[in-house]
A and B are shown apart, each in its own frame.
Chain A
């Protein structure tokens, strides 16, 4: 069974450009989460989808970030326009139920904004 996959693994862009990160969760997992780790600090929650609906987007830093999950399968996280402080590693995770006690993470997408 394939795990959570993220693309790209590393993206280098200039300030003001747009980047779209993609996450494919484990098949059958209704819950999909985005997290971010900036400059070796803690991994911070961004948002949570249940199927195609945003359950909690309280961690989204500002309106330059847009997450979608059309059809309740894969998800995209777009940053437009990117700023220097957006650099970091963006992790996606999925889970089957809310109380399974385990999130399955992808390897992360490293974003570098120059």
Chain B
């Protein structure tokens, strides 16, 4: 079945450090890929998405590139801020549709001043 594997946390970084959160997915079909973020006390929000191979999703300084050859969708940010502290979830949609999203376990990021 469909699955998503992401690096375990928690991840603790100093402000302005470089962030990478690894994510790989099962290569069934050609799914859309997503990163969702959950800030403390809030619901999940879509951070960025990519719908086909080599697409790069970007938002708020975060980027992730859809790599079909390595079945990966790693999240990166060049300089994190304290306000980026949150739980980040990698996710994939069904091939050909979005209605049944499969999530990874989530990676908690803490950015310290």
- Interface positions of A (Cβ within 8 A of B): 3-4, 31, 33, 35, 37, 40-45, 48, 55-56, 91, 93, 95, 98-103, 105-108
**Whole-angstrom distance between the Cβ of A31 and the nearest chain B Cβ:** 7
With an 8 A cutoff between CB atoms, is B81 at the interface?
no
With an 8 A cutoff between CB atoms, is B49 at the interface?
yes
What would be 16 A-B contacts, judged by CB atoms less than 8 Å apart?
Answer: A35-B103, A42-B105, A43-B106, A44-B103, A91-B44, A98-B97, A98-B98, A99-B98, A101-B32, A101-B49, A101-B93, A101-B98, A105-B43, A106-B43, A107-B41, A107-B42
Other-chain residue from A40, A43, A100, A108 in contact with B103 (beta carbon distance below 8 A): A43
Q: Which of chain B's residues have a CB closer than 8 A to the CB of A31? A: 99
Q: Which of chain A's residues have a CB closer than 8 A to the CB of B36? A: 105
Other-chain residue from B41, B45, B46, B100 in contact with A45 (beta carbon distance below 8 A): B100
* Contact size range, B: 20 to 34
Name B38-86 residues within 8 Å CB distance of A.
Answer: 41-46, 49, 51
Q: How many A-B residue pairs have CB under 8 A?
A: 61
Given A42-B4, A102-B49, the answer on whether A108 and B43 have CB atoms closer than 8 Å is yes
- Interface positions of B (Cβ within 8 A of A): 4, 32, 34, 36, 41-46, 49, 51, 89, 93, 97-106
Q: Which of chain A's residues have a CB closer than 8 A to the CB of B41? A: 107
7 more A-B residue pairs beyond the given contacts A4-B43, A40-B106, A103-B44, with a C-beta to C-beta distance below 8 A: A3-B43, A45-B101, A93-B44, A101-B49, A101-B51, A101-B98, A102-B46
